[in-house]
Copies of this chain bind each other. A is one copy, B any other.
Amino acid sequence: MARIVMKFGGTSVADLDRIRNVAQRVKREVDYGNQVAVVVSAMSGVTNQLVKWCTELSPLHDAREYDAVVATGEQVTSGLLAITLQEMGIDARSWQGWQIPLRTDTAHGKARIQSIEGAELVRRMETGQVAVVAGFQGIAPDNRITTLGRGGSDTSAVALAAALKADRCDIYTDVDGVYTTDPRIVPKARKLAKIAYEEMLELASVGAKVLQTRSVELAMNERVRVRVLSSFLDAPTNDPLGENAGTLVVDEDEIVEKENVSGIAYSRDEAKITVRRVPDRPGIAAAIFGKLSEDNVNVDMIVQNISADGTTDMTFTVGKADLPRARAALAEIQTQINYSEVLEDPNVAKISVVGVGMRSHAGVANTMFSALADKAINIQVISTSEIKVSVLIAAEYTELAVRALHTAYGLDAA
């Protein structure tokens, strides 16, 4: 007997047939003797429609009203799934965020969860009742509905799993697990049976869009065992590592055989900016990045070369969508900073190798540089963290680089 939280995204509940399919999966867990809470998203397309209405009526709409409108999508799904489960003879009831209550702060449209009162849910789950929870939403201290922002249902599910002290949080999605890299680029990509939180976090934030970053952070902090699996394959057995069981995201201590590198990620969503001939004196970096932050431009990789003739070049990457804002911000501080020019290059890709094993293995970065050099791919920027090495290269080499690295780190499937 285990207590589990199951989460189903919008495509998994897109119509009545798929809701019935979800109910079958829930029934299976109940039949195994598990205590089950289910977190559901809105039927796919519904949230977009609701958002569109709000925006059409007022581009700068009140986020509190937006939340009241948009939260209805999940409310509908929760009621429909409860009805379907009951039709199958399973005791079930729906829970809205305010009924649990799942308390958040007042940051409407992107609220953060503050607490979940799980006692009543646990009491009912222990009697065999399935809790069907509307994802993505909560209630603010002023008694108004909040939403957690796009992808917030993953976060709802993980937070609920933590509050209910669940053994596992199963995230059903349209992929069947986490791969060593994008299988569309590398057909030999392997599905990982287990991956550490930290690795998942790096993979999630660099382009493998399987789980929302916030949900992984939360899972790591609360030590919630998360499983990513497909809602379109046959249902898995009761063994979390059995057939069709997807990928388990866990503490690295649970991973016995750590690989040096678990996966290769890439992102073509960034643009490179170089600010040329910046005076090399204290406070310059703060002036540039302070201004960018003020103007809501997210900066990722940053490289500053050593100084020559009292000036230096500052290179960094920003999201492509932020490029116009970054350009404007830099123009505003030109007189203050006194740089010579700004170069932009949107045709870049960031390639990252990720793995908790690299902490204890030297040479991981060097393998990367050699493999890229063998293919004559020029590295423009390098950035490293404890479990990740990222390089910026010309976008046209993305697939070539990912394939070469996948082979170089021995990740290719047999």
**How many copies of this protein are present in the complex?**
2
Using known A-B contacts A68-B78, A75-B68, A94-B68, determine if residue A83 contacts B58 with beta carbons closer than 8 Å. Answer: yes
- Residues of chain B within 8 A (CB-CB) of A99 are 143-144
- Assess the A69–B58 pair: CB atoms within 8 A: no
- Residues of chain B within 8 A (CB-CB) of A20 are 57
- Assess the B69–A79 pair: CB atoms within 8 A: yes
Interface residues of A in 57-98 (CB under 8 A from B): 57-58, 61-62, 64-69, 71-72, 75-76, 78-80, 82-84, 86-87, 93-94, 96, 98
A50 within 8 Å of B (CB atoms): yes
A290 to B93, CA, bound (A): 36
A69 to B67, CA, bound (A): 17
Question: Which residue from B58, B80, B86 sits with its C-beta under 8 Å from A87?
Answer: B58
| Among A57, A58, A78, A145, residue most surrounded by chain B Cβ atoms (within 10 Å) | A57
- Assess the B76–A61 pair: CB atoms within 8 A: no
A interface list, Cβ under 8 A from B = 16, 19-20, 50, 53-54, 56-58, 61-62, 64-69, 71-72, 75-76, 78-80, 82-84, 86-87, 93-94, 96, 98-99, 143-145
Beyond the given A57-B83, A65-B79, A65-B83, could you list 17 further A-B residue pairs with CB under 8 A, ordered by the A residue number?
A: A16-B53, A20-B57, A50-B76, A53-B80, A54-B80, A57-B80, A61-B87, A62-B86, A66-B79, A68-B78, A68-B82, A68-B96, A69-B75, A71-B75, A72-B72, A72-B76, A75-B75
